[in-house]
Amino acid sequence: MKKLAVQIVMIAIVIFLGYKVYESIMEPVEYKTSTEVREKVIKKKLGYIKVLEIEYKKIYGSYMSDFDTLIDFYHNDSMPMVMKIGSVPDTLTETMALELGIISRDTSRIAISDTLLKDMVEFKVDEFELVPFTHGKVKFEIAAGTVERANFDVPVFEIKCYKKDYLAEIKAQELLKNDILIMKEDDKFPGLKLGSLTEPSTDGNW
């Protein structure tokens, strides 16, 4: 009986150790997968926000640092739309056809919401400020300004969020902390960032 009890304990220990080995192998894999899946979604959302920012700048000459205004811009503002009336003969360029009066142009305005983000199905414009995977508790940090280039003030904007927020509930917290530490040591932003307040760029840091 005593021998059986020892065998049961030994089997339990082997199973436990086997599970811990499996867990140590799978944890980095699961961390990498979770990071890639979540960052893919966030990058896509940032891409849609970028579309609005660029259109806002086209109309008003600067980027917007406030999500409420950006969302209102989408719902209630309009953009110019140039319509070409007539057709250009094969023997002429469009400029020549305009000069000869064969074609004309007419500028009208069309609602932003009828033009932009028509392919977006994953997100709601009214929730653009919320960072995915944070259960509505964390908002993107957004800022806008200008940088001087060749004696001109160039509009810039920056939108960012942090790994510690969109990966807050994953199991591999030690891996997350180590990842963030390495990024900081390499002078990299510990998360995702679109645009820059120091460079005239609308690219992401990925």
Helix and strand totals (H; E) in the chain: 5, 5
Residue ranges per structural domain of the chain: 36-76+118-195
Whether the pLDDT of residue 130 is over 50: the answer is: yes
Under the banding of pLDDT at 50, 70 and 90, the label for residue 1 is low
Q: Are strands 141-149 and 78-85 parallel, antiparallel or unpaired?
A: unpaired
- Which amino acid is it at 33? T
Which residue has tokens 């009208």? 108
12-21, 47-56, 146-155, 173-182: least confidently modelled range: 12-21
- The residue ranking higher by pLDDT, 4 or 177, is 177
- Whats the size of the chain, residue-wise? 206
pLDDT at 201 over 60: yes
Is the whole-model pTM more than 0.95?
no
